[in-house]
């Protein structure tokens, strides 16, 4: 199976760097803090074009991508072409796609004025998603939530233009509910309706009306979509945190988009029932609590909705949980200063939580307010500074001195876990590359032939060690010599805390370890065990690494 570790998989749900850049520095004013945010914003939006599915438009800027999945939905008698592939695979997962659409829209609503010439491209990125979501919700009482069999897809390594794996269309309906994904889809459509309110009123009304209908379906037929479609969506996008937050999230966006009293009353009536204050330091595709509180707090801070005061209190508590130095913080930081939460793809937490820091900072600033945290008053400027440090870490201000955004800076990952990027383009290799024929490109030690500009990979671990399976290949340059990372055909990564020799043997200590190792404080035996587990998982030659290699002697012969 062509599976992967989370360290270097670019995903739509991770691409909140785009959102973070907007309030940091207006585009018209250039970059700040040593980084060119204008360029990073430009690259971030380009990433979405690299993830497009369907028939590509004439103005497609990522030229190595071509039309793909032109028959999606045909087996179900519907048109489900378009939308975005989720990560490095060729599956269209509706839940994270809808969440990404909601967040893209939120960024445009709040910070679009700072985007300059990139605004039109950001709006197009939203419309590429909403056009697909409209197709997925065209039948009343039905939402198509996924296209592609994930297990079949993950067993192959092929371009989306070539894929011949199962393109099963999975749906929820009145008999098989999915309030979580339906609620998120309603949120995406409602938020996007605000984006298009002035530029395309007719399209905006279509989005809002569809959002209303989908939300009614989500609320009337309650249940988690992973219960209805477990075999299809798990373990990839299981709903772990329940669907209650998505119902409040959807109502909050419909309240903002429509200004109808019914949604305000729904929120107030269901605040306790749907657990609005739960898990307030979480925010992502599966947990919307913190986002709900920040979104509704804006109205409180603007003096428009005192009845949402409890959400403002929850938002304050969330913000305090992110601040280092405040008593009993709930969020962990790496030694290099990166927000870290256990689980795969940490950058999704970094970017989504930082976006809320920036949004709340903006709301507080306009209201001339501060956040009370443990007897201290925290200013909006401090929140912005903390979020900015997270963005700068991603762009290169980190212990490894590398950018986690592909195409930004002098050193960034060039072998990311991404099918279309790692295989030659159709233009360069017109012949079909089959399911298993792509494995030689998957295992290649060379940089990916196609640069997935703007991709933000999953990121480092809690010790700031970049531990994705595919190796990091630094760009050639004098400033890269003697850096703490060194990668070659064996996919090694330097980490000073590692010791490949036995602690009791008195042998010389060595710092390199296999890049797939995630625990930087492990012994040689532990390293071998971890490597064996992951090598089995990705189907490589376990016996070669686990039996025949003498790690210490092999490393001694290498010139690092």
- pLDDT by residue (tens digit) across 215-253? 999 999 999 999 999 989 888 888 888 999 999 999 999
**Is residue 417 annotated as a catalytic residue, yes or no?**
yes
β-strand partners of 54 = 68
Residue 40, CA distances (Å) to 15, 27, 46, 48 in order = 11, 11, 10, 13
What local confidence, expressed as pLDDT, does residue 535 receive? 27
What local confidence, expressed as pLDDT, does residue 180 receive? 97
β-strand partners of 514 = 492
What local confidence, expressed as pLDDT, does residue 335 receive? 95
Give the up-direction half-sphere exposure of residue 470: CA atoms within 13 A in the CB hemisphere. Answer: 32
Active-site residue (options: 255, 349, 417, 418): 417
Q: How confident is the model at residue 325 (pLDDT cuts 50, 70, 90)?
A: confident
Round to whole Å and give the CA distance between 499 and 495.
9
Q: How confident is the model at residue 14 (pLDDT cuts 50, 70, 90)?
A: low
What local confidence, expressed as pLDDT, does residue 47 receive? 94
CATH number of 189's domain: 1.50.10.10
Residue 104, CA distances (Å) to 101, 423, 435 in order = 5, 29, 33
The residue among 341, 369, 395 that closes a domain is: 395
Q: Looking at the structure, do residues 320 and 263 belong to the same domain, yes or no? A: no
What local confidence, expressed as pLDDT, does residue 483 receive? 19
Stretch 176-183: mean pLDDT, rounded?
98
Statement: residue 165 has pLDDT above 50: yes
Choose from 12-26, 83-97, 199-213, 223-237 the range with maximum mean pLDDT: 199-213
> Of 3-12, 85-94, 138-147, 271-280, which range is least confident?
3-12
Q: Looking at the structure, do residues 320 and 250 belong to the same domain, yes or no? A: no
What local confidence, expressed as pLDDT, does residue 25 receive? 64
Statement: residue 107 has pLDDT above 60: yes
Q: Looking at the structure, do residues 263 and 354 belong to the same domain, yes or no? A: no
- Residue 519: inside a domain: no
- Residue 170: inside a domain: yes
Stretch 251-277: mean pLDDT, rounded?
92
Q: Looking at the structure, do residues 249 and 317 belong to the same domain, yes or no? A: no
The residue among 395, 419, 439 that closes a domain is: 395
Q: Looking at the structure, do residues 217 and 319 belong to the same domain, yes or no? A: no
Round to whole Å and give the CA distance between 403 and 395.
4
Round to whole Å and give the CA distance between 559 and 543.
25
What local confidence, expressed as pLDDT, does residue 30 receive? 43
**Contacting residues for 259 by C-beta, under 8 A, at least 6 apart:** none
Round to whole Å and give the CA distance between 315 and 290.
7
Closest CA to 251 of 218, 282, 225: 218
- Residue 334: inside a domain: yes
Statement: residue 555 has pLDDT above 60: no
For strands 142-147 and 169-173, give the pairing.
Answer: antiparallel
Residue 136, CA distances (Å) to 64, 149, 257, 333 in order = 27, 17, 21, 39
Q: Looking at the structure, do residues 240 and 333 belong to the same domain, yes or no? A: no
The residue that leads in pLDDT, 444 or 80, is 80
What local confidence, expressed as pLDDT, does residue 301 receive? 96
- Residue 452: inside a domain: no
Q: Looking at the structure, do residues 223 and 367 belong to the same domain, yes or no? A: no
For strands 512-514 and 492-494, give the pairing.
Answer: antiparallel
- Residue 90: inside a domain: yes
User: The domain containing residue 350 runs over which residues?
Assistant: 306-395
Q: Is 456 helix (H, G, I), strand (E, B) or coil?
A: strand
Q: Rounded to 5 degrees, what angle do the CA atoms 349, 230, 286 make? A: 20
Query: Which residue has 């196609």 as its token pair?
Result: 450
Q: How confident is the model at residue 12 (pLDDT cuts 50, 70, 90)?
A: low
Per-residue pLDDT reduced to its tens digit, 510-548: 223 333 333 333 233 233 322 222 222 222 222 222 222
| Rounded percentage of the chain residues whose pLDDT exceeds 90 | 65
Q: Looking at the structure, do residues 368 and 262 belong to the same domain, yes or no? A: no
Statement: residue 503 has pLDDT above 50: no
Q: Looking at the structure, do residues 43 and 187 belong to the same domain, yes or no? A: yes
How many other CB atoms are there within 10 angstroms of residue 545's CB atom? 17
What local confidence, expressed as pLDDT, does residue 239 receive? 84
What is the Cα gyration radius of the chain? Answer: 23
What local confidence, expressed as pLDDT, does residue 467 receive? 60
Cβ proximity of 458 and 11 under 8 Å: yes
> Of 12-21, 403-412, 426-435, which range is least confident?
12-21
Q: Looking at the structure, do residues 255 and 377 belong to the same domain, yes or no? A: no
> Of 3-17, 65-79, 180-194, which range is least confident?
3-17
Q: How confident is the model at residue 470 (pLDDT cuts 50, 70, 90)?
A: very low
Structure token digits, residue 286: 């599966």
- Residue 514: inside a domain: no
For strands 371-373 and 339-340, give the pairing.
Answer: unpaired
Q: Looking at the structure, do residues 329 and 230 belong to the same domain, yes or no? A: no
User: What is the tally of structural domains in the chain?
Assistant: 2
Round to whole Å and give the CA distance between 45 and 121.
7
Round to whole Å and give the CA distance between 249 and 95.
14
Q: How confident is the model at residue 295 (pLDDT cuts 50, 70, 90)?
A: very high
Q: Looking at the structure, do residues 270 and 379 belong to the same domain, yes or no? A: no
Which string of DSSP letters, residue by residue, matches 203-258?
HHHHHHHHHHHHHHHHHHS---HHHHSHHHHTTTS---S-SHHHHHHHHHHHHHHH
What local confidence, expressed as pLDDT, does residue 495 receive? 25
The residue that leads in pLDDT, 274 or 88, is 88
How many other CB atoms are there within 10 angstroms of residue 392's CB atom? 18
What local confidence, expressed as pLDDT, does residue 34 receive? 85
Q: What sign for the dihedral angle of Cα 36, 40, 42, 43?
A: positive
| Rounded percentage of the chain residues whose pLDDT exceeds 70 | 76
Kindly report the average pLDDT of the chain as a whole number.
80
- Residue 343: inside a domain: yes
The residue that leads in pLDDT, 554 or 167, is 167
The residue among 376, 395, 414 that closes a domain is: 395
What local confidence, expressed as pLDDT, does residue 274 receive? 80
Could you tell me the pTM of the whole model?
0.83
Per-residue pLDDT reduced to its tens digit, 349-372: 899 999 999 999 999 999 999 999
How many other CB atoms are there within 10 angstroms of residue 240's CB atom? 10
- Residue 118: inside a domain: yes
Query: Which residue has 């200004």 as its token pair?
Result: 259
Cβ proximity of 520 and 498 under 8 Å: yes
Structure token digits, residue 103: 């967040």
> Of 78-82, 201-205, 321-325, which range is least confident?
321-325
């Amino acid at each position: 199976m062509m599976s992967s570790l989370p360290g270097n998989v670019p995903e739509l749900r991770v691409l909140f760097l785009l959102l973070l850049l907007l309030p940091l520095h207006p585009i018209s004013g250039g970059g700040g803090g040593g980084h060119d945010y204008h360029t990073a914003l430009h690259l971030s939006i380009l990433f979405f074009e690299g993830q497009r599915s369907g028939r590509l438009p004439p103005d497609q800027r990522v030229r190595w991508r071509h039309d793909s999945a032109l028959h999606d939905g045909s087996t179900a008698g519907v048109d489900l072409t378009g939308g975005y592939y989720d990560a490095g695979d060729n599956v269209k997962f509706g839940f994270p796609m809808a969440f990404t659409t909601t967040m893209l829209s939120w960024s445009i609503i709040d910070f679009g004025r700072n985007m300059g010439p990139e605004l039109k491209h950001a709006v197009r990125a939203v419309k590429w998603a909403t056009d697909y979501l409209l197709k997925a919700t065209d039948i009343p009482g039905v939402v198509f939530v996924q296209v592609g069999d994930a297990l079949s897809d993950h067993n192959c390594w092929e371009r989306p233009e070539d894929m011949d794996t199962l393109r099963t269309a999975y749906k929820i309906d009145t008999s098989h509910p999915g309030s979580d994904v339906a609620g998120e889809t309603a949120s995406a459509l409602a938020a996007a309706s605000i984006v298009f309110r002035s530029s395309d009123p007719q399209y905006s009304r279509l989005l809002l009306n569809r959002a209303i209908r989908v939300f009614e379906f989500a609320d009337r037929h309650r249940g988690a979509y992973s219960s209805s479609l477990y075999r299809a969506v798990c373990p990839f996008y299981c709903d772990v945190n329940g669907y209650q937050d998505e119902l409040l999230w959807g109502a909050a966006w419909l309240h903002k988009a429509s200004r109808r009293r019914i949604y305000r009353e729904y929120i107030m009536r269901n605040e306790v029932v749907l657990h609005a204050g739960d898990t307030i330091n979480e925010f992502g595709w599966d947990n919307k609590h913190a986002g709900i509180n920040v979104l509704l707090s804006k109205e409180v801070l603007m003096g428009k909705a005192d009845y949402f005061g409890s959400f403002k209190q929850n938002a304050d508590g969330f913000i305090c949980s992110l601040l280092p130095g405040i008593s009993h913080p709930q969020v962990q930081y790496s030694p290099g200063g990166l927000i870290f939460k256990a689980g795969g793809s940490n950058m999704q937490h970094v970017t989504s939580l930082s976006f809320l820091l920036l949004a709340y900072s903006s709301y507080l600033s306009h209201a001339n307010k501060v956040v009370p945290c443990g007897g201290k008053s925290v200013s909006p400027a401090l929140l912005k500074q903390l979020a900015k440090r997270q963005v700068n870490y991603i762009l290169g201000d980190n212990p490894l001195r590398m950018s986690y955004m592909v195409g930004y800076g002098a050193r960034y990952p060039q072998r990311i876990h991404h099918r279309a990027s790692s295989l030659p383009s159709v233009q360069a290799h017109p012949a079909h590359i089959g399911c298993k024929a792509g494995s030689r490109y998957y295992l290649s030690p060379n940089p990916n032939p196609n640069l997935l500009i703007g991709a933000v990979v999953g990121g480092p671990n809690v010790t700031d060690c970049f531990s994705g399976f595919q190796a990091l290949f630094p760009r050639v340059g004098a400033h890269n010599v003697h850096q703490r990372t060194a990668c070659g055909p064996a996919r090694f990564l330097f980490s000073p805390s590692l010791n490949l020799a036995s602690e009791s043997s008195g042998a010389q200590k060595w710092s390199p370890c296999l890049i797939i190792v995630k625990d930087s404080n492990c012994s040689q035996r532990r390293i071998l065990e971890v490597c064996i587990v992951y090598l089995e998982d990705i189907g490589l030659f376990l016996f070669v690494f686990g039996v025949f290699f003498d790690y210490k002697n092999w490393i001694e012969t290498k010139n690092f």
